[in-house]
Structure 1
């Protein structure tokens, strides 16, 4: 029998209660490994708080919207797990997702792992689709992470620290963390042995509607100051990254029948 490490799942939320309910319900239904659930409410005003306090979860309620990095860090500091999941509230997981990611982490020795994802509307049978996807793509992997759902071993935080709270609200903090982790010697990976659904950019769009229109520019400026380049880099970096991404996606579709991250309308 496989022995898994203790796991904590950290989910920051800001309004969008219907997405949060779907996310938490899928975790309750599909998670096959005992875990601690930590939810950080960034001052939601749509009834999210009332829903959260009915759950079997540790709930942290902030008086104002502190943004993703600060909320993630609050959840990490309040968690007990040796492995910590950082999840968006607009994802839906599938059966066996957590054990699949833990096996991948253990087998490859990665410090950070992510599942494959289908993005867009949830207008299909997710569990049936996931079963076929995993059957085809279980052997596929990428040396990158998917920011909407990451499992991070605590030793990564012990070595490089928490998320940089200089990034406000949402954007660039996951890339910054990835770069710091890989620079410190940790390997990372996304596996086709697990699939989730991601509605996509829900929290960020909610923040924009709230009136915080300039957070991407502020985050990009902070990233540039810190790394002496932008996330996408100069024209040569962008063209090279786009070419690599296109070739990788094309190879995955030919080899496995799917790309590990697929976007639909």
Structure 2
């Protein structure tokens, strides 16, 4: 893959606490890649992230604490590259991966296949997908996602009625709905699940006060928006 692909993307990382995970995430990432990185300081105490500011290619922008979804939108709005990579602060890099993640977004669509518009490093768990009425391996896990910024403009921003959870699922549902009107399977989502990345599974949200209540509010909002009832697996 051409090394220039990394120049077409900016990595956006929301940050609220969990600085030990962030330190490991950035150190491992920078060991393998030179790429613009945008930290969105989601209401940490002033100066908390200042010692990260000297890292190469890294910029910090602040917002009041409003959650991951708003931080994604804040970060994406500030991106000046064609592509965006959303990355959780608890992801560890063990080898080069950015070119692989971005490459499907560069390929022109063949006449019979839709363009790949969204890539990620892992599928949602089958349980998570079934809980929103989707089959396994149809929706990507939100801890590592890549897309062109133009897609964000086209579909609309990540829906901020979901503060921490389900906004990535909602974004993908909107993408699938928009694509299904024009194309048949395979769809616009591609999973590259052999990338040299490891994810600490919810470490970036585990410390949130009232986490269970926040999750329940986001889940209720999602089910109301998509008019789903309870846990209804797709058959």
TM over 0.5: yes
Q: CA separation of 1:150/1:211 partners in 2, compared to 1, >3 Å: closer, same or farther?
A: same
Q: What residue in structure 2 maps to residue 190 of structure 1?
A: 191
Asked whether the equivalents of residues 100 and 193 of structure 1 are also in contact (C-alpha less than 8 Å), the reply is no
Greater fraction of residues in helix: 1
Asked whether the equivalents of residues 122 and 140 of structure 2 are also in contact (C-alpha less than 8 Å), the reply is no
Q: CA separation of 1:173/1:25 partners in 2, compared to 1, >3 Å: closer, same or farther?
A: same
Deviation for aligned residue 1:176: 0.5
User: Unaligned stretches of 5+ in structure 1?
Assistant: 118-141, 241-265
Q: TM (normalized to structure 1)? A: 0.70
Q: What residue in structure 2 maps to residue 43 of structure 1?
A: 43
Q: What residue in structure 1 maps to residue 168 of structure 2?
A: 174
Q: CA separation of 1:147/1:220 partners in 2, compared to 1, >3 Å: closer, same or farther?
A: same
CA–CA distance in structure 2, aligned partners of residues 193 and 216 of structure 1? 29
Q: How does 1:53-132 map to 2 (within 5 A)?
A: 53-56=53-56, 57-62=58-63, 64-107=64-107, 109-116=115-122
Q: Cα RMSD over matched residues?
A: 2.5
CA–CA distance in structure 1, aligned partners of residues 42 and 193 of structure 2? 32
CA–CA distance in structure 2, aligned partners of residues 160 and 47 of structure 1? 35
Q: What residue in structure 2 maps to residue 244 of structure 1?
A: none
- Selected match of 1:157 from 152, 156, 160: 152
Q: CA separation of 1:110/1:162 partners in 2, compared to 1, >3 Å: closer, same or farther?
A: same
> 3-state SS of the aligned residue for 2:216?
helix
How many residues align? The count is 207
CA–CA distance in structure 1, aligned partners of residues 146 and 201 of structure 2? 19
> 3-state SS of the aligned residue for 1:60?
strand
- Higher mean displacement: 22-31 or 1-10: 1-10
Q: CA separation of 1:200/1:24 partners in 2, compared to 1, >3 Å: closer, same or farther?
A: same
Q: What residue in structure 2 maps to residue 219 of structure 1?
A: 218
Asked whether the equivalents of residues 42 and 66 of structure 1 are also in contact (C-alpha less than 8 Å), the reply is yes
Q: TM (normalized to structure 2)? A: 0.79
CA–CA distance in structure 2, aligned partners of residues 111 and 233 of structure 1? 28
Structure 1 ranges of 4+ moved more than 6 A: none
- Higher mean displacement: 98-107 or 157-166: 98-107
